[in-house]
C-alpha cells in the first residue's frame, strides 16, 4: 500500500483506532528516568522532545525542543517483556478434601498493539519467533500472544552511540514484521501498512483524519531517512578515541569465537564483570527461563511459575551436583559465544541484533563490540582458561 501522510495530531487517532479495534495499546513514555513501554491512551504521553544519551553503563535523558516524537532510541524494554514476560504462572493447584485439583485459569492472551518498535527489535522478534515457535517444541503461550500482536514500527532517524544494528543487518530501517511503519518528517509522519490488519487500521483512521498520499518524490525522500542514518553509522564518527556509533565485524565470527575459547580476554573481561545478569535481562533475544513451584503460607495453594533465568547465575550451569561454569570468565564466554556463534548452529541466525542495550545497561560498561574486536585483534594461541 502506498504511504500516506499522517499529521502529528493523527497519532491520537491511531491510538484511538487501535483501542476501538480491541487492542491494548502500549507505547514509549518517559518514566523513572528512561523511555519505557507503558499502556498508552493519550498521544501527549509519547516522549516528544526527549533525547537519550547512551554509552557504556550510561543512560541519561534530556529535553530538546528540536527533537521529534521518536528521536529517542531503544530503552530497557522490548517486545520480549510482553511476549515472554519476566514471570508468569503456568499452572496452579489447590488442595481439596478429595486431593489436589488443578485450578489453572484458561489462558486467553489479549490483543496487544505496540507503538514505536525499531528495526533491531523487529529482528529480535523474528529471532524469538524462531526460538519459541520455529522448531518441534512450540511455546504455546508465546505463540498465542504472538498471534494477537499488532506492531507499529518506526524508522530510526537518530542512533545512540551504543547502536550497531547497521553492522548486524538489522537496522536502522524497520525490516519485515511490522503491520504499520512510521517515518517522522517535520511535523508529520509517513505511514505505510504491510499487512491486511495494518491496512484495516489505516482505513479506520481515514474516516477520522485526512491521509494524503505521498508523491513519488516524497516516497523516495522518506525511504532515504533511515538510509541516511545508516550511512552516518557506517562512517563511524570518532569521538574521544572511540568510534560512534559502534559496529561489530561479523566476518567468520562463529569460527573466530570457537577457535578462541581459551583467549586471555575472557579472564580480563571477568575482572570487570559483576555477573549481575543485566545484559541478559535487557537483551531482546535472550530466552532462558527456569520453572519453580511456589506455595502460599497454608500450603493449600501451589503455583508453577516460569521466570527469566540468566547464564550469568551459578545455578544456570549446575548439573548433577557440579557446576559446569564456575567462573565469571566461563559464564561471560558462554553468553557471548552462544549469542554470536552457537546461536548460528542452533537457530541459523546470530542472537544479536545490535540494539546496544547490553552495553548501556551493564553497570560497568562492558561492551560486546569491544570484546569481539579485542579477540579479533589477537586471535587464538592463548593459554587455557583457569578452571575457577
Please report, as ranges, the residues that interact with ligand SF4 according to CB under 6 A: 273-279, 282-285, 312, 339, 352-358, 362-364, 366, 368
C-beta of 185 vs 385, nearer to ligand SF4: 385
Residue 170 CB, shortest distance to ligand SF4, in Å, is 8
C-beta of 52 vs 192, nearer to ligand SF4: 52
Residue 167 CB, shortest distance to ligand SF4, in Å, is 11
Coil, strand or helix: which one is 292? strand
Residue 59 CB, shortest distance to ligand SF4, in Å, is 13
Residue in this structure with the C-alpha cell 530503552, named with its chain if needed: 75
Q: CA-to-CA distance for 59 and 63, rounded, in angstroms? A: 14
C-beta of 288 vs 364, nearer to ligand SF4: 364
Q: CA-to-CA distance for 155 and 146, rounded, in angstroms? A: 22
C-beta of 152 vs 277, nearer to ligand SF4: 277
C-beta of 5 vs 82, nearer to ligand SF4: 82
Residue 248 CB, shortest distance to ligand SF4, in Å, is 8
Residue 331 CB, shortest distance to ligand SF4, in Å, is 8
Pairing of strands 112-117, 24-31: parallel
C-beta of 155 vs 353, nearer to ligand SF4: 353
Would you say 375 and 268 are in contact if contact means Cβ atoms under 8 Å apart? no
Cis previous bond, 245, omega within 30: yes
Residue 124 CB, shortest distance to ligand SF4, in Å, is 6
For residue 272, report the phi and psi dihedrals to the nearest 5 degrees: -100, -30
Q: CA-to-CA distance for 217 and 4, rounded, in angstroms? A: 13
Q: CA-to-CA distance for 90 and 112, rounded, in angstroms? A: 20
Written as nine digits, the cell of 141 is: 503461550
Give the contacts of 149 (CB within 8 A, at least 6 positions apart). Answer: 79, 82, 83, 112, 113, 114
Amino acid at each position: 500500500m502506498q504511504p500516506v501522510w499522517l499529521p502529528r495530531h493523527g497519532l491520537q487517532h491511531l491510538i484511538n483506532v487501535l483501542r476501538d479495534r480491541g487492542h491494548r495499546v502500549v507505547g514509549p513514555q518517559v518514566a523513572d528516568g528512561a523511555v519505557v513501554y507503558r499502556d498508552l491512551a493519550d498521544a501527549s504521553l509519547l516522549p516528544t522532545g526527549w533525547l537519550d544519551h547512551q554509552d557504556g553503563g550510561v543512560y541519561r535523558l534530556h529535553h530538546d525542543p528540536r527533537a521529534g516524537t521518536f528521536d529517542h532510541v531503544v530503552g530497557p524494554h522490548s517486545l520480549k517483556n510482553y511476549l515472554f514476560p519476566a514471570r508468569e504462572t503456568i499452572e496452579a493447584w489447590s488442595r481439596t478434601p478429595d486431593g489436589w485439583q488443578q485450578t489453572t485459569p484458561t489462558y486467553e492472551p489479549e490483543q496487544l498493539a505496540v507503538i514505536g518498535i525499531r528495526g533491531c527489535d523487529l529482528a529480535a522478534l523474528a529471532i524469538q519467533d524462531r526460538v519459541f515457535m520455529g522448531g518441534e517444541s512450540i511455546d504455546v503461550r508465546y505463540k498465542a500472544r504472538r498471534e494477537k500482536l499488532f506492531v507499529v514500527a518506526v524508522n530510526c532517524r537518530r542512533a545512540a552511540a551504543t547502536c550497531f544494528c547497521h553492522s548486524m543487518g538489522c537496522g536502522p530501517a524497520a525490516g519485515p514484521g511490522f503491520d504499520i511503519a512510521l517515518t517522522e518528517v517535520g511535523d508529520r509522519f509517513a505511514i505505510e501498512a504491510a499487512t491486511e490488519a495494518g491496512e484495516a487500521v489505516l482505513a479506520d483512521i481515514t474516516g477520522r483524519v485526512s491521509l494524503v498520499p505521498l508523491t513519488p518524490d516524497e516516497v523516495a525522500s522518506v525511504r532515504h531517512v533511515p538510509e541516511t542514518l545508516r550511512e552516518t553509522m557506517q562512517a563511524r564518527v570518532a569521538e574521544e578515541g572511540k568510534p560512534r556509533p559502534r559496529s561489530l565485524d561479523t566476518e567468520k565470527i562463529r569460527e573466530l569465537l570457537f577457535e578462541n575459547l581459551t583467549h586471555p580476554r575472557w579472564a580480563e573481561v571477568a575482572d570487570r564483570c559483576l555477573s549481575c545478569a543485566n545484559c541478559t535481562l535487557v537483551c531482546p533475544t535472550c530466552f532462558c527461563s527456569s520453572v519453580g513451584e511456589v506455595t502460599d503460607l497454608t500450603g493449600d495453594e501451589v503455583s508453577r511459575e516460569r521466570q527469566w533465568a540468566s547464564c550469568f547465575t551459578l545455578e544456570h550451569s549446575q548439573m548433577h551436583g557440579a557446576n559446569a561454569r564456575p567462573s565469571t570468565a566461563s559464564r561471560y564466554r558462554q553468553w557471548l559465544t552462544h549469542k554470536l556463534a552457537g546461536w548460528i548452529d542452533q537457530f541459523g541466525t546470530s542472537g544479536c541484533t545490535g540494539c546496544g542495550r547490553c552495553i548501556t545497561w551493564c553497570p560497568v560498561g562492558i561492551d560486546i563490540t569491544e570484546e569481539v574486536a579485542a579477540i579479533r585483534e589477537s586471535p587464538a594461541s592463548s593459554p587455557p582458561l583457569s578452571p575457577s
